[in-house]
Amino acid sequence: MNRMMRFATASCLALLTSGAALAQTTPNVPSLQAPDLGLDLLPGYLKTSDLPDSLQLLPPPPAEETASLARDEEARRATVPLRGTARWDLAKRDADLNFPQPAANFSCAMGISISAENTPHLYTLMRRMFLDVGLSTYGMKNKFHRTRPFVAHSEATCTPADEDILRTDGSYPSGHSAVGWGWALALAEINPERSNELLARGLAFGRSRVICNAHWQSDIEAGRTMAAATFARLHADSGFVADMKAAREEILKERQANKPASGCDAETAALAAQ
C-alpha cells in the first residue's frame, strides 16, 4: 500500500473533524484506518488509481522569503479583523464536514433545502464525492507536510478541538477547500440557474479556511485545482453521471414545488463581510 493510501481517510485529516475510528471495505476503497474522525463516510465513485495526481498537477507550496509566501501572509492578516464576528462563526460551520452540516451550508446558495429527506439523491452524491475529492489532495500533502498558519504564528483557529490533528496534517493543498469547490461545481451543474450563487458559496467555503487560520491562501487555490481535476474525472464514471442526472431531476421537482431554503438572511449578512 503506497503512502497516499496509508493516509487515505486522512482525507478526513485534511478535511478534519473529531470522532470515532473509521474502518471501511468497499469495492472502490481498500480497508483504511484513520484516527478518531467521526465522519460517516460513504465509498467514493473512483478507484484510488483513477484519482488525479496532485504531484503532477500542482507546483510546490510557496518557499520562504518569496513573493508567493508574502502574498499568503497578507491574505492571512486581512482576515484577522473577522475573528469573533459572524463571518468567523460561519467559518466554524464550514469547518464541520459531518453531514448534514455541509448540505445545510450550501442550501441557501442552492435556493432549496438540501437534506436526506428532501433531496436524497443529491445528499448522497455530495457524501460520495467527499472521499474522491479529499483523497486527490494527498500526494502533495504527504510530500511537503506544510506548516499551517496557526502553528507558524502560535495562534488559535476557529475550531480549537481540531488543532491537535491539524498540527500533524499538511496544510497544502487544502482538503476542505477542495471538497467545498467540488461540491460547488457539482451543484452549479445540477442547478445552473443558481450557478453564480453556488460558485460564490464555494469560493467563500474556501476563504473560510483562511479566516479560520487553518490554511494559507495558496493552499485554498491548490485545493480548487484538485477539485476541478477530480470533478472532470468523475464525469467519466457512469455511476456519478447517473447520480448527477437523478439529482438534477430531484432539484427540478423541488423548484417546481416552490420549496426554497429558509433562514438565509444571517448567512447573507455574514458573507457580506468577505
Which residues face 23 on adjacent strands?
33
CB neighbours of residue 265 within 10 Å:
9
Classify the C-alpha dihedral 233-235-237-240 as positive or negative. Answer: positive
Q: Which of 176, 201, 207, 224 does the annotation list as catalytic?
A: 176
- Category of 39 on φ-ψ map: left (φ > 0), alpha (ψ -120 to 50) or beta: beta
Q: Which of 121, 127, 201, 209 does the annotation list as catalytic?
A: 209
From start to end of 110-234, where are the E strands?
A: none
Through-space distance between the first and last CA atoms of the chain, rounded to whole angstroms: 42
Q: Give yes or no for a contact between 61 and 218, defined as CB atoms under 8 angstroms apart.
A: yes
Reduced to 3 states (helix: H, G, I; strand: E, B; else coil), residue 21 is: coil
Phi and psi angles of residue 169, each rounded to the nearest 5 degrees, phi first: -115, 130
**Residues whose CB is less than 8 angstroms from the CB of residue 70 and which lie 6 or more positions away in sequence, other chains included:** none
Residue 176 appears among annotated catalytic residues: yes
Residue 235 appears among annotated catalytic residues: no
- Quote the DSSP letter at residue 136: T
* Whole-angstrom distance, CA of residue 121 vs CA of residue 33: 28
Q: Which of 132, 162, 219, 243 does the annotation list as catalytic?
A: 219
* Whole-angstrom distance, CA of residue 172 vs CA of residue 119: 33
Catalytic positions are 176, 209, 215, 219
